[in-house]
Chains A and B, each alone.
Chain A
Amino acid sequence: MADYAFPHRHLLGIEGLNRLDIETLLELGDRYVELNRQRVKHVNSLAGQTLVNLFFENSTRTQGSFEIAGRRLGADVVTMPIATSSVKKGETLIDTAMTLNAMRPDLLVIRHGSSGAVKLLSRKVDCAVINAGDGTHEHPTQALLDALTIRRRVGDIGGMRIAICGDILHSRVARSNVACLNILGAEVRLVAPRTLTPPGAADWGATVFTDMREGLKGCDVVMMLRLQQERMDGAYLPSAREFFHYWGLDEEKLSHAKPTAFVMHPGPMNRGVEIESSIADHKTRSLITEQVEMGVAIRMAVLETLSKNVHAGAKA
């Protein structure tokens, strides 16, 4: 695998990747985990290259994670303040892309509130584009960091039973994770009320449950999703209280998973809504802070891999 050449120019989603692509990134990620635990966390593989962070949606952890990843690889990192930029003045997304492209960045990290927006931008620029989350479509680096976390702490993902719980309908993390975990051979379960289960989810390569206890039965890993405030007001769910009662992760519900089961959450958490604090902070079972650590490592792996390709002229 060491001489496998990652064939993609952009990272727009997990869809379109194969097992080898994913494992190549995970192995490189493994190496950067070790680097990041040294006192000097710096290499120069991206020296002289420009990484632009373009976040049309607010983000602290993903944006910070990409910034740190870029700096540790020696890139010049620029984060564009979108809130005050010309987007507010009515410039179209494509005009913004053309303008940025003219500044000749090498890597462009984009988050946007609309599904498909990152792909739209990727068609208009010459650099490598990394999707840091587009609407309710995909968030590939989250799925990769989750896979890296599971692989390192729990073991081989092949044959593992993993439940993803909560607001699947509006979750790009769920879409990317279902795809990624399926490729790596896991048995994936989705646990959610009907109003938050996407139509056709049963055909995603996952089993759908509405009863959380049943869904968690025998699981090695339980991944919780963030429930947005605006879903709780009676439109999709009657109340946060009722949601927690049936789909919030507490000791009792977790007891239906394997006794050794681990708990994950992409953050930021709503404590007491989708997850109880005692579980989120559990010393041995919660992998939540470790996910953040893996995030920097996997993003370094992605940035380095794509920067090689953009200069070698890889397709799509």
Chain B
Amino acid sequence: MTGRIAIYNARILDPASGRDEKGGILIENGVIADVGAGIAKTTVADVKIDAKGKALAPGLIDLRVKTGEPGAENKETLETAGEAAAAGGVSTMVVMPDTDPVIDTVALVDFIQRRAESVAKVKVYPTGGLTLNLDGQKMSEIGLIKEAGAVFFTNGDRPVEDAGVLRRAMQYAASFDALVASRPDTTALSKNTVMNAGAFAARLGLRGTPPEAEWIALARDLMLAETTGARLLVDCLSTERSLGAVARARKNGVKVSCSVAAYSLFFNELDVGDYLTYCKVQPPFRMEADRMALIDGLRQGIIDAVVSAHDPQPPEDKRLPIAEAAYGAIGLETLLPCMLSLVVREEIPILDALRAVTSGPADLLGLPQGRLAKGAPADLVLFDPTAPWACDRDDLNSRSKNSPFDGRKLEGKVLRTWVDGETVFERG
């Protein structure tokens, strides 16, 4: 992209610098050339865009996206996920390795990069399987796969059960300073469960995941991070107690960061209501006290990233009795509206909400985007921070429609998304 684009008359929101002010952005050759009150209608540019007072922020970076490519393209492809991301203001997505085949070799990492380059509208970064075929037994070629471009290593939704395997994989990963992500889960406690364990699940006659499933695995993972010196990303923690454990470990010098699924900030266990299969996710919607504690953790900066945990599932896997339905919810297009709704409801200040989906994840991966700074890639999102709307799953771009937000009221609408200065989405 050549030429100069000036976006003016905007509310500039940049969590990295703490900026929340009127102004604009000047883009030159896909890179941010200038930011601030100086960019106006009169700025010399080839293209001038009047933001009409709406909010302009760094494009979102989503650290947890599943597509069905390769292997389950009926659920979602890199192309359709890219469409959904662009419509959701997500300009960078990190895709999980739990595909068919599993992304556990250099060739497959390369496949994801090339495929995304040719079909996806947004930036796509692959992750590598921590163990071969995610079977939790043999570690993958962590060094080579990292060099090929994998941004972190994870066993996805199949936690490594063997502590010996995990310990060695973390030791080995530490030699390359590779980031290891682990979703804390004890399958012996979470197997065949449907929702959070407790009085509500008992009343519905459903099997629940007790929070111990998360606590036990987290305690182990933190201990191994401490002794191996590996960098650990606690993926999608969901309870108050886990947040405390992460904060304490960090204070003690453990190299640990953590993410939370956006749905964990918005829903509680009661939202499963009438056996809604779109609300069957792992980790499950927890108690209201957990939800509030997570929001507080976000405000205090304990949580580094909020992720969509986008996990598309087709109707044949979701239109079933809840015990038989697949886990997972889509989230790319509702990630920003979910955060903005929390802002409108005065649960969290806007810069804290945005930090966890922009500079927070960017810093974690060492990416140049995710900030409105001179020289940074012009990955941007323009949005109306308060526009109310009702989510209808059929209006979403994702190939699968399993959104727990279906039928719910949200605030905040994406108007336009840019990747490297190119418009990849514009609301008609």
Q: Could you list which residues of chain A lie within 8 angstroms of chain B, going by C-beta atoms?
A: 92-94, 112, 114-117, 119-120, 134-138, 169, 172, 175, 198-201, 203-204
Contacts and interface: CB of A to CB of B under 8 A. Distances in A.
Contacts of B316: 92
Given A117-B321, A200-B203, 14 more contacts: A92-B316, A92-B320, A93-B320, A93-B321, A94-B320, A114-B323, A115-B204, A115-B322, A115-B323, A116-B322, A136-B206, A137-B206, A175-B203, A175-B205
Given A92-B316, A119-B274, A120-B275, A114 B202 contact: no
A137 B321 contact: no
Contact of B275 (A94, A116, A199): A116
Contact of A114 (B199, B200, B208, B324): B324
A276 B316 CA distance: 46
Contacts, number: 65
Contacts of B320: 92-94
B196 to A, nearest CB: 10
Interface residues of B, number: 20
A200 B274 contact: no
B197 interface: yes
Interface in B275-296: 275
A137 B202 contact: no
Contacts of B200: 200
B114 interface: no
A135 B200 CA distance: 15
B319 interface: yes
B319 A114 contact: no
B198 interface: yes
Contacts of B319: 92-94
A116 B197 CA distance: 17
B205 A172 contact: yes
A94 B201 CA distance: 23
A260 B396 CA distance: 64
18 contacts: A94-B319, A114-B322, A114-B323, A115-B205, A115-B206, A116-B205, A116-B274, A119-B274, A119-B275, A135-B323, A136-B206, A137-B204, A175-B203, A198-B199, A199-B199, A199-B202, A200-B198, A204-B203
Contact of A120 (B197, B202, B203, B321): B321
Contact of B197 (A137, A138, A172, A199): A199
Contacts of A116: 204-206, 274-275, 321-323
A115 B275 CA distance: 8
B206 to A, nearest CB: 5
B205 A134 contact: yes
Contacts of B274: 116, 119
A190 B132 CA distance: 49
A201 B203 CA distance: 8
Nearest to A197: B202
Nearest to A118: B321
A175 B324 CA distance: 21
**Which residue, A119, A135, A138, has most C-beta atoms of chain B within 10 A?**
A135
Contacts of A135: 205-206, 321, 323
Contacts of A203: 199
Query: Which label, helix, strand, loop or mixed, suits the secondary structure of the A interface?
Result: mixed
Interface string B311-322: 000001001111
A273 to B, nearest CB: 23
A252 B274 CA distance: 43
A152 B204 CA distance: 30
Nearest to A123: B274
A136 B204 CA distance: 8
A175 B200 CA distance: 13
A118 to B, nearest CB: 9
Contacts of B321: 93, 112, 114-117, 120, 135
A135 B194 CA distance: 13
Nearest to B323: A114
Contacts of A201: 202
Nearest to B194: A115
B199 A138 contact: no
Nearest to A179: B203
A191 B319 CA distance: 37
Contact of A198 (B202, B275, B323, B324): B202
A188 to B, nearest CB: 15
Contact of B198 (A92, A94, A115, A199): A199
A204 B202 CA distance: 10
B199 A136 contact: no
Contacts of A169: 202
B275 A200 contact: no
A204 B205 CA distance: 13
A92 B202 CA distance: 26
A197 B307 CA distance: 36
B336 to A, nearest CB: 32
Contacts of B323: 114-116, 135
B205 A138 contact: yes
Contacts of A198: 199, 202-203
B116 to A, nearest CB: 33
Nearest 9 A/B pairs, CB to CB: A200-B199, A116-B275, A114-B321, A137-B205, A198-B202, A117-B321, A136-B205, A115-B205, A114-B323
A116 B316 CA distance: 17
A172 B316 CA distance: 27
B198 to A, nearest CB: 5
A108 to B, nearest CB: 16
A137 to B, nearest CB: 3
A71 to B, nearest CB: 29
Contacts of B322: 114-116
A202 to B, nearest CB: 9
Contacts of A120: 275, 321
Contacts of A115: 204-206, 275, 321-323
A198 B198 CA distance: 8
Nearest to B319: A94
Nearest to A90: B316
A129 to B, nearest CB: 14
In this complex, the member of B197, B274, B319, B321 whose beta carbon has the largest number of chain A beta carbons within 10 angstroms is B321
Interface in B176-203: 197-203
A34 B172 CA distance: 79
Nearest to B318: A92
A92 B277 CA distance: 14
| Candidate in B200, B208, B319 with the most chain A CB atoms within 10 angstroms | B319
